[in-house]
Structure 1
Amino acid sequence: MRTTTAGRILAAGLAAVLLIAGCSDESGANAGGPTFDLTQLDPGNYSTTPRDQEQARTEHTGAMLEAARLGTALPAAVDIDARLVHRSSIYVDRRITPILLPSDIALIERAEFAQLTPGLVAGWQSRGQRRQGIGLGTALEMVTLRFDSAAAAANAAGLMSARAQQKWPDDTPVTVPDFGEAQARWSTQHRRVDAQLVRDDMVLLVRAEDPVSEPSEPTASTTLVQRALRAILDGLSDYTPTPADQLDSLPIDTDSMLARTLPLENTAQFTGDTDPSMVLPRQAWLHSALRADLAKTAYADTGVDLVAISGAVLYRAADAPAAARLLAALADAESARYAPIDSPPNMAGVGCYDRKDPKSSADRYPPTCFLHVGRYVAVVEGANTQQVHQRTAAQYGLLAEA
């Protein structure tokens, strides 16, 4: 899923939580956020009726839900190396399934992914890097793939290994400490170590890049791969695979989070096969943060446990005061690029913003509103002021009626 502007602001906004965590300590009557008369709001044609997300279930939904379960168990790059805090990709969806293909990942190009992974059930992709720009510092990419059998995993690993040897014949074999069974190669040209490890029905792919250090040699990258493999396996120890014949029983909408979230207007913009809306525990969403270090601490500070991503992005914090702190941080984070605009009609106090510089990208910085209702914080965007106002009114209706 390509990130929406709301998703970018939301991830980036967490960077400010630590700086202003105490600036909005609401503990009185307004701790749950402002309340409004629903009859006086204008949601336009947007629905204010919670939807039954089960109606969006398809034959592919179970695999997507299982992919999210994997992401909940797996470490982000920042969990392995505190310096790897930046996200480079514009995509926030880390799930992998036979129809939800990843961007190009370590060892596999998107175009050949299906050919190299027969028997895939679900997977998860994650990346973190030391600098914001590509190729400016150490980077770590991790892909965890679950197959329908150990034999299928071994077969896919063999196919991927053969393809890698064909594509990069000059790579030099290296040994990963503690993981002698892993197939690993050092590329002098690309300054990276690629490793592949098979464990039962899982294939782990790890790539560590170090494009700037001199002299160029594999020791540091090999050590990073070692740490990543150990952390992934530790995380998988807390993952209980859902049997393949029970994937369709996995719930789509944890605690009715999606029912409380504005729906996508056009699901076909992401995939024609299923609604990509999802509910993620905070560890899974951490993989999509623009600044994972600050996001990780912010989630803990405000007690965020679930995030729903659909037509808006909805956070659930520990309680209403924590949600107020989170909202203040999100609204403050883009202050250098955003300027306040009017609140939606009859919704005084709701913070809405538009880009300060008219020459800035309207796609990256569209009108955006931040809404706080109880323990929930929503980030809503629109193509213009009227649309974002109507969508915010509809999102309030969904939260107020829940």
Structure 2
Amino acid sequence: MLDMRHGYGRLRSARIGVRAAAAAVLAVSVLVSAGCGSESHAAEEQSVDLSKLDTGSYKTKPQDPTTSDPATRGRTLEGLRLGNILPLASEIDPTLSHNAAITNVFTQPNSFDSLVNVDHFADDARGFLVGFATSGRPSEDPGLGLTLTNAVMVFDSESNAASAASALARSGLVLKPGTEVTSLQSSQHSAAQIVWVPTEQRLASWYPTGKFVVFTLIDQVENKSVAEAFSMPPEPAPLALADKAIDVTAAALTGFQPTPPDKLATLPLDPDGMLRLTLSRPTGDATVEAFSGTFNQHGMLHIVGDPAQYKALFDKAGVDSVSDGAGFLVRAKDEAAARGFLDSVSASRFQHRIDPPAGLPIARCVKYHGPDAHAAPFHCYVSYGRYAATVWSQQQQDVYQRISAQYAILANNK
């Protein structure tokens, strides 16, 4: 099963959850399929009678996406564009090999309110448009090592970005009254506004560059635990890692041209033609982020639990686009690659095969039995042509209807 930490089959938080104790993450250990090779689906695909599939109230034909609020939708699309070029945590520090929980695209200040003081965000961050965040740590265990969260906020002007960096640093972090906070200065980035909380082993940095603010938050959770357990003095501030995050992120931003604010509403809703083929999310569905959209391969690596593993899978299958709706739809280079990708991601020691839905024998459905209490219990997978789809649900009948409807959409794409 795909270890999509930010919602591949689990309930997602609507906020940035940097501290692992508060974060809802998919903690499933992913095992690439062993002894479960690609199955021959061709004859079965030809025998599928779409009229006999139980699709419930889900649509069964491709639907061009629409929006009633192009301006707000445009901000989200800009965030997705940003994610396609921003570095992974592992590209800042190779030891941060596992993605941690995060709300990637954010347009509201409450995305930060668990750790960052946003009481005055409207005044502190005038001209804020959208942001994208990524987060990583050395292992799935949130108590080991440190967690690095790196976010970029886009503003409507360079002056507003510079003002916001200073104002947000003054507002500071959410801390207990009386907690010691120290302002630090980077020898490499004089414009960076940095605060250090030694007793919490937490460093935050706001760095303005052009129309962007690079926000870096480093939580040295293991250092804090050791210091508390053995009454040891706090470790020094991790300034070198903060500087590296700024360097790598600022370099990536040189390849990103922000969309003028008055043009955000004109951004295409479905630039790769993927959303029209993706099962739409029903009203009130909380199993994924509150947006639908597409990532390129790199952007999707912010979502998966083990980026290196999935970079290899994506490369092997030639994946160039992934869409997010009521499930995920992956576009591979060809039909065989899509089937191989599906075989790889649908195998896990925590997933137990169950019967497929009536009329769709080529679907692979499983029930989850594992350590993540937040994981959706039912998942189904199917491929059609060069596309591989995954859906999930709390209810078996619903997951059957979702995968049947997703298959019908792909089959009806004439």
Contact 2:117 2:174 in 1 (8 A): no
Which among 363, 384, 393 is matched to residue 395 of structure 2? Answer: 384
Q: 1:102 aligned to 2:111?
A: yes
CA 1:12–1:308 in structure 2 vs 1: closer, same or farther (change >3 Å)?
farther
Gap runs ≥5 in structure 2? 13-24, 227-232
Contact 2:109 2:118 in 1 (8 A): no
CA 1:189–1:11 in structure 2 vs 1: closer, same or farther (change >3 Å)?
closer
Superposition deviation, residue 153 in structure 1: 1.2
Q: 1:252 aligned to 2:269?
A: yes
Partner residue in 2 for 1:125: 133
Moved more, 317-326 or 246-255: 317-326
Partner residue in 1 for 2:282: 265
Q: Deviations over 1:99-158 (max 9, x none)?
A: 47424476x335554343221011111111123243421211112111111121122122
Which among 201, 225, 236 is matched to residue 191 of structure 1? Answer: 201
Contact 1:95 1:102 in 2 (8 A): no
Which among 315, 337, 342 is matched to residue 355 of structure 2? Answer: 342
Q: 1:400 aligned to 2:403?
A: no
Contact 1:13 1:331 in 2 (8 A): no
Partner residue in 2 for 1:224: 241
Which among 181, 187, 192 is matched to residue 171 of structure 1? Answer: 181
Amino acid paired to 2:394: A
User: Residues 291-310 of structure 1 correspond to what in structure 2 (within 5 A)?
Assistant: 291-310=306-325
Amino acid paired to 1:353: V
CA 1:208–1:32 in structure 2 vs 1: closer, same or farther (change >3 Å)?
farther
Q: Percent identity?
A: 28
Amino acid paired to 2:149: E
Q: In angstroms, what is the RMSD of aligned CA positions?
A: 3.3
Q: 1:210 aligned to 2:216?
A: no
- For these two proteins, the number of residue pairs brought into alignment is 386
Partner residue in 1 for 2:75: 63
CA 1:111–1:16 in structure 2 vs 1: closer, same or farther (change >3 Å)?
farther
Contact 1:103 1:110 in 2 (8 A): yes
Gap runs ≥5 in structure 1? none
Partner residue in 2 for 1:154: 162
The structure in which a higher percent of residues are helix is: 1
User: Residues 1-12 of structure 1 correspond to what in structure 2 (within 5 A)?
Assistant: 3=7, 5=9
Contact 2:28 2:372 in 1 (8 A): no
CA distance in structure 2 between the aligned counterparts of 1:260 and 1:12, rounded to whole angstroms? 29
Q: 1:315 aligned to 2:330?
A: yes
Amino acid paired to 1:277: S
Contact 1:33 1:324 in 2 (8 A): no
Contact 1:369 1:388 in 2 (8 A): yes
Contact 1:120 1:145 in 2 (8 A): yes
CA distance in structure 1 between the aligned counterparts of 2:149 and 2:255, rounded to whole angstroms? 21
Partner residue in 2 for 1:237: 254
CA distance in structure 2 between the aligned counterparts of 1:34 and 1:177, rounded to whole angstroms? 62
CA distance in structure 2 between the aligned counterparts of 1:171 and 1:196, rounded to whole angstroms? 15
CA distance in structure 2 between the aligned counterparts of 1:32 and 1:162, rounded to whole angstroms? 65
Amino acid paired to 2:82: L
Superposition deviation, residue 323 in structure 1: 1.4
Give the match's secondary structure for 1:294. Answer: helix
Moved more, 183-192 or 136-145: 183-192
Superposition deviation, residue 256 in structure 1: 2.0
Q: Deviations over 1:368-395 (max 9, x none)?
A: 1111111111111233332222221110
